[in-house]
Structure formats: structure tokens, C-alpha cells
Structure 1
């Protein structure tokens, strides 16, 4: 996830530079900010796709030998 954050920051800096040289209303400026938005959308998608563990799963990760966490084969 930190890799995509670095990419977002690089694209943000690039967009600011392009907009300062080409002008805020130029098509190059709009394209540069679109790239930033796409990366931000991807980062949001990655955060949502990770399933969250419930409290028992978290407890069992921390305490795998606990009675509550034992798994029996039938």
C-alpha cells in the first residue's frame, strides 16, 4: 500500500509542475490530475477489498493455543 501512496505523491507533484508550466486550464494539466485521481481510486479499492477480521479471529491470531481457537477434524 505504501508503494501506491508514493506513486500518488509523485503524480501529485508532477501534476502541480505541469499545471504551473502549462497553465491550470490546459489539457495537460487535466490529464495529470486525472492520473492522480485514478491512483487514489485504486488505493481506495484496495483498502475496501481487504476483508476485516472479527474480534475472535484477531484473538486467535494473537493466541493460537487458546481453547476458543482450537479446530477439530470430524
Structure 2
């Protein structure tokens, strides 16, 4: 399991404990679940990053190749 997934699981457990001890309608309970939602949003954002194309990877590996050269005015 990835690091962020472990953090999400840890925060979920903490949120459950806070809600059990403080009550489901308490501000602490809401804040704990907000922390879980923030981590889930970050995990989703990380999954959406697009991998480099084969051409971009080739240019990273071979910056002097003719097809990878950038010319400035």
C-alpha cells in the first residue's frame, strides 16, 4: 500500500475514534473527517497526473537528438 493510502487509513481510524468519543455531531468529528477527505483528494490528484509520452521520455534521455532540439529566435 502506498504512503498516502496508509495515511488515509490512519486518519480514518483516528476520525472513527474521535467521533466515538466526542459524538458524531461534534466539531472535532467533522474536522477529523475533513482531514480524511483532504487526503483522499490529494490521492485522486496524484492518480490523475499523466505519464510522459514516449517521445518526451526519448528527449529526456537524448537531449541532443535532432528531433528534440529547440530553437529560439
TM-score higher than 0.5: yes
Unaligned runs of 5+ in 1: 58-72
Distance 2:10 2:25 in 1: 21
Distance 1:40 1:25 in 2: 22
| Structure 2 counterparts to residues 1-74 of structure 1, below 5 A | 2-51=2-51, 57=54, 73-74=65-66
Over the aligned positions, Cα root-mean-square deviation in angstroms equals 1.8
In the TM superposition, structure 1's runs of 4+ consecutive aligned residues that sit over 4 Å from their partners are none
Q: How far 1:52 moved relative to its partner?
A: 6.6
Question: Alignment length, in residue pairs?
Answer: 56
The DSSP-based 3-state class of the residue aligned with 2:51 is: coil
Q: How far 1:25 moved relative to its partner?
A: 0.2
**TM-score, with length taken from structure 2:** 0.69
**TM-score, with length taken from structure 1:** 0.68
Distance 1:24 1:39 in 2: 20
